[in-house]
Chains A and B, each alone.
Chain A
Amino acid sequence: MVAIADDTDAPRAVPPAATRWVTAIRRNPTIATGAVLLAILVSLAILAPWLTTDPLKQATINRLRPPSERVWFGTDQFGRDIFARTLHGARVSLVVGLTVAAISSVIGLALGIVCGYFRRIDGVVMRVMDGIMAIPSILLAIALITLTRPGLAVVIIAIVIPEVPRVVRVVRSVVLSIRAQPYIDSAIAGGTRGVKLLTRHVLPNTLAPLIVQATYICAAGMLIEAALSFLGAGVPPEIPSWGNIIAQGRSFFQIAPWTILIPGAFLALTVLAVNLMGDGLRDRLDPRLARRM
């Protein structure tokens, strides 16, 4: 018998890097838009100390100045530079968003796999998750923060707890469908051990939906942080964050709308960028929605 040759896909010619980038962007415009926006925001946040002046420096002579050549985004009621405050606020938002997404993904992944695979534990853990989901996340976060000293770490933990059940649910349902797949039976029939089966065969297959879910949690995390800071329950006022900048500008909204509009616009833009990436990744990673190239 002859070897079965299948010459339809002989070694493909590799196009130059530039062409590949152009095609990648054309095929996934949503991911590209989100990624570019996010990249700009991240670099602004990282470079904030070099691009701006001290966000806490008060200059009461210059208070409530509208945006101008000298102060790009204007100043607040204490004469603090809104440009500096907004860029420094971006650091808080992004750190909170990314950390919340990372921590809740890891915890949720572990719990989700355990629930999906060990059916005895499933009932108990999922009821606890349902319980957590029943509590409004902002309320839970405020309660947790009131119990402790305010700080970035507390804010992150307070946001992670209500987000974990969302990840657990997604991962658990994916694991339930994966464990019914023939390749799992096949791996067991090949003598694969339990732990290996989970890490090698189940876990990698849950990653695509998990990544998508993580982007949404990142966006939600930033919004909740802003809401908490706005309510005064978030990061302490000496750390500028979009939420507390808006909160402080609230009383002067009618005479100095830029104190609210600018950090608000940044928040909206950042959440939009992350959600665009999430949507794009979902379309790209979900085999049922993926367009055939």
Chain B
Amino acid sequence: MTNILEVRDLATHFFTLDGVVRAVDGVSFDLARGETLGIVGESGCGKSVTALSILRLIPPETSRIVGGSVRFDGRDLAALSEAEMRTIRGHHIAMIFQEPMTSLNPVLTIGTQIAENVVRHTGVPWRAALERAREMLDLVKIADARRRIDEYPHQLSGGMRQRAMIAIALSCNPQVLIADEPTTALDVTIQAQILDLMLELKEKLDTAIVMITHDLGVIAETTQRVVVMYAGRKVEEAPVEALFAQPTHPYTRGLMRAVPRLDAEAEIAGRRPRLQEIPGIVPALNRPIAGCAFAPRCTFATERCRAEAPPLVTTSAGHAVACWETARVLEAA
């Protein structure tokens, strides 16, 4: 399998009055054609900034990609002109956002918004683009596409709007779809439907997906490989089964323990134990972090952890962890 997207040591910094915020600090990952890659981490760990950096959509007034490279289909995206970049966005790499309620333009009909994307990137006549829009609405299973195509976003429910967003994103058969928390704003049943739909369309259209989420449930259900981010860095990467079978970084373990469980295993003596939180708070990113970013919150942390950043070490097939104390962590399990 060849990689459609290769991100190498990507670093995006924000230049604020409180100093340089290292939102993304040397993140690397590969995305194979047709693969689903999950990026998980808590709020502010750099997931969204990573996604925006890939498409070069970070606000130019305050932020800059200071290092690393993003190669799409063998081409270095950093070297492209803004005009060339526009032909990539929405055509080869599409993105869907967290807020289906506000990510559609309220004054244009759904059909217009889909057709516009098609015309912009393929140059087909408007009539053909509208036909394509209708097809896409059918594809994302919006009932009665012929009528919906002329409706405005406020006439659709949240789930339907997210479907419409997906229809726009996939209307030009992108090779990569970046989904930034696509289901966070939706209720659980709609969430499941949208995820099913995305996976189904991924198979049908052979699109690779980068699924950005803080929800381990979404990760487990949809992805093949997972990147765990913490404070702008990648701390663990593994195939999804391996990650859930043997989470190795103390942060990943903390995340998993923080998910409420319903099964009997979680119950001790008929009482459900207190949900475990990760002590402490996320470090401020506007000061350089010496050593492992997670060390202040980690129960395994040693002097070395606080002094020296751990390198990413591959432990088993495709499973890489950035931790000095892997042996002790695994023993403790």
Give every chain A residue within 8 A of B88 (Cβ-Cβ). 191
Is A27's CB within 8 Å of the partner chain B? no
Query: Whole-angstrom distance between the alpha carbons of A185 and B58 in the complex?
Result: 10
A3 touches B143 (CB 8 A): yes
Is A238's CB within 8 Å of the partner chain B? no
Q: Of the listed stretches A36-44, A152-160, A197-205, A262-270, name the one at the interface; the rest are far from the partner chain.
A: A197-205
Give every chain A residue within 8 A of B200 (Cβ-Cβ). 1
Query: Whole-angstrom distance between the alpha carbons of A183 and B104 in the complex?
Result: 5
Give every chain B residue within 8 A of A190 (Cβ-Cβ). 89-90, 94-95, 117, 120, 168-169
Residue of A nearest to B165 (CB): A186
Give every chain A residue within 8 A of B163 (Cβ-Cβ). 4
- Interface residues of B, dominant DSSP: mixed
Q: Of the listed stretches B13-21, B38-46, B105-113, B212-220, name the one at the interface; the rest are far from the partner chain.
A: B105-113
Per-residue contact bits, chain B 136-178, to A (CB 8 Å; 1 contact, 0 not): 0000011110010000000101011001010011000000000
Residue of A nearest to B89 (CB): A191
Is A187's CB within 8 Å of the partner chain B? yes
A191 touches B103 (CB 8 A): no
Give every chain A residue within 8 A of B61 (Cβ-Cβ). 119
Is A13's CB within 8 Å of the partner chain B? no
B219 to chain A, nearest CB (A): 21
A191 touches B116 (CB 8 A): no
Scan residues 217-262 of chain A and give those whose CB is less than 8 A from a CB of chain B: none
Per-residue contact bits, chain B 93-130, to A (CB 8 Å; 1 contact, 0 not): 01101110011111110000000110011000000000
Query: Whole-angstrom distance between the alpha carbons of A3 and B105 in the complex?
Result: 24
Query: Whole-angstrom distance between the alpha carbons of A130 and B26 in the complex?
Result: 47
B57 touches A188 (CB 8 A): yes
- How many A residues have CB within 8 A of the partner chain? 27
A1 touches B196 (CB 8 A): yes
Is B91's CB within 8 Å of the partner chain A? yes
B116 touches A189 (CB 8 A): no
Query: Whole-angstrom distance between the alpha carbons of A287 and B15 in the complex?
Result: 36
Query: Whole-angstrom distance between the alpha carbons of A188 and B86 in the complex?
Result: 8
Is A68's CB within 8 Å of the partner chain B? no
Is B55's CB within 8 Å of the partner chain A? yes
A117 to chain B, nearest CB (A): 13
| New A-B pairs, 5, CB < 8 Å, besides A192-B116, A193-B86 | A3-B141, A5-B143, A191-B117, A192-B86, A192-B90
The 21 sampled A-B contact pairs (Cβ below 8 Å) are A1-B196, A2-B141, A4-B142, A4-B143, A4-B159, A4-B160, A4-B193, A6-B157, A6-B160, A119-B61, A182-B97, A183-B106, A186-B97, A187-B105, A188-B89, A189-B57, A191-B87, A200-B105, A200-B108, A204-B108, A205-B106
Listed in ascending order, the chain B residues whose CB lies under 8 Å from chain A are 55, 57, 61, 86-91, 94-95, 97-99, 102-108, 116-117, 120-121, 141-144, 147, 155, 157, 159-160, 163, 165, 168-169, 193, 196-197, 200
In the complex, the 3 A-B pairs of residues with the closest C-beta atoms, listed nearest first? A190-B90, A191-B90, A191-B89
